[in-house]
Amino acid sequence: MRRPVTGEVHVHYGQIYVQSDPDSAIPDLSEAFAGQSGGLCGAVVPGVLWLITGLHTGDVGFDVEVHDEAPLLDPVWEDAVEVSFCPISEHTRLVQWAGEAAWELGLALTDYRVRYCARGMDTGRDLDTRASGEPQADSYLLQFWPAPPRPDRVIRQTSRNAAYWHRYARELPPPPTPEQRAESQGLTRRVEERAAKERRLHREREWGGRLPSERLRTVGGTVHGLLRFDSDLVHALDAAGPTVQRAVATLAARRACEAADLIHIPWIIQALTAVTEGRPLTPPFDNPTLLWETLRSDPHVPQRSVLRAIPPERPPYRPPARPAAAGWSWGPAGEPGDDGPRRPGPGRALGTVVPPTPAGQGVTPTAGVECDDVVVVHPSHDPRGPERISQPHFALRVVLAAAGSAPLKAALDAVWHAMNTYGEHYPQLLEEIRSACTEQVGEQANLPLF
């Protein structure tokens, strides 16, 4: 005879289990006892025993014995039941509630008869919870020996608690037949398969009708925003490889700075050159605080804006005016210093954001909000007019994104911020990037950047 468990174990909700498949779930109480005459040891579900205790929470005396043949029933035990059990793996364990602890029982893969004996169940039930230092209220003995399967039976009944659980088991409906169980399992499997298909379709819809690669699922950044505008481009960039991704990021940075009319400013040209050559960004791009301060203070930075980009097949959102903030006003676009041909693009003749004007000079102040270093303004004559954004602020974000260390994320983020720099004119940017990416992806060659 072996004793793999002896002493005390902790119970919660008046239950503890024997489990021979660690990957299976503990069945419901009714499922474990359905069709039995005894209600202390549920053995209906293969590979599992559900054991009832009187104590609700705390430590109970508990021994497990493994015999070669049926042992005698000691008169000390007030309640006793027998069931049949067959392990379904080589690792049968006594398991506490919620898997808090477990003890290996070392049972062979054969049929066993099991006797579950109890003493003091009513005392444990009345105590409910045993605190540390309190005397033991109830104790249990679980015995195994090889024997062919046969129906469960109640051998001895003394306690009120045992009588209650026996009555509960006998009033349960009979367990499902093997055919009913197979049908139920088939239905469950079909429901799970349908749910998996629906989850797959949902993910496909999120990613433009196809499942994303692991790279796209984990890339982070602005990928979900860009999907709303051009999901095909997102997947094309993912498939393009690092060389094309880097080239696309650089192209987006160049085009964004051109659209914002920043291409003539020396410190921005230096940053674009660093991005093109794969070098670290030059000051002030290496310091966010200094970067935005330089943008605000440089008199050569034009104050240009465009209407916010709206995803295709969606009506433009016309938000109410935001609370007024001093420092911005709306005026017609101007091109001071335009002394030579420049690349045509969005931002020209679309209007501009201008700094406050001294009193009496005829510029009407309007609402404006600066959020996360991107300025959003509204025309003063229509407080519910369409949102406009500052192109220079978004253009610098493109340069920062293009310099990122991960090629795919750099490309996606740079295209996203460049698209916002173009605003309502974003389709021409996406068309150029999509065309260049398609032409070069097979050759893995550098894109024509300038």
Provide φ and ψ at 449, rounded to 5°.
Answer: -85, -35
68/253 Cα distance (integer angstroms): 80
d(CA 71, CA 79): 16
As a whole number of angstroms, the distance between CA 68 and CA 176 comes to: 33
Q: How do residues 394-423 score in pLDDT, each as one tens digit?
A: 999 999 999 999 999 999 999 999 999 999
The structure's pTM equals 0.46
Percent of the chain with pLDDT over 90: 60
Whether the per-residue pLDDT at 329 is higher than 50: the answer is: no
228 pLDDT higher than 60:
yes
Q: Please state, in angstroms and rounded to a whole number, the distance separating the CA atoms of residues 390 and 97.
A: 60
Note the pLDDT of residue 269: 94
* Confidence band, pLDDT 50/70/90 cuts, at residue 440: low
For 92-134, the pLDDT digits (tens) are 999 999 888 999 999 999 999 999 999 999 999 999 999 999 9
For residue 66, list its beta bridge partners.
Answer: 2, 144
- pLDDT 10s digits, 135-185: 999 999 999 999 999 999 999 999 999 999 999 999 999 887 778 778 877
Strand partners of residue 113 = 84, 145
pLDDT at 200: 67
Which pLDDT score is estimated for 441?
54
- Across the range 367-376, mean pLDDT stands at 39
Q: Give which of 93, 80, 85, 76 is closest to 24, Cα–Cα.
A: 93
| pLDDT tens-place string over residues 187-200 | 878 888 887 777 66
Q: Residue 73 pLDDT more than 50? A: yes
Per-residue model confidence as pLDDT tens digits over 278-303: 999 989 999 999 999 999 999 999 98
Distances (CA, A) of 5 to 8, 63, 73, 313: 9, 5, 19, 68
Strands 368-371 and 41-42 come out as unpaired
- 61 φ, ψ (degrees, to nearest 5): -65, 135
- Whole-angstrom distance, CA of residue 64 vs CA of residue 124: 19
Give the per-residue pLDDT at 48: 96
The pLDDT value recorded for residue 261 is 94
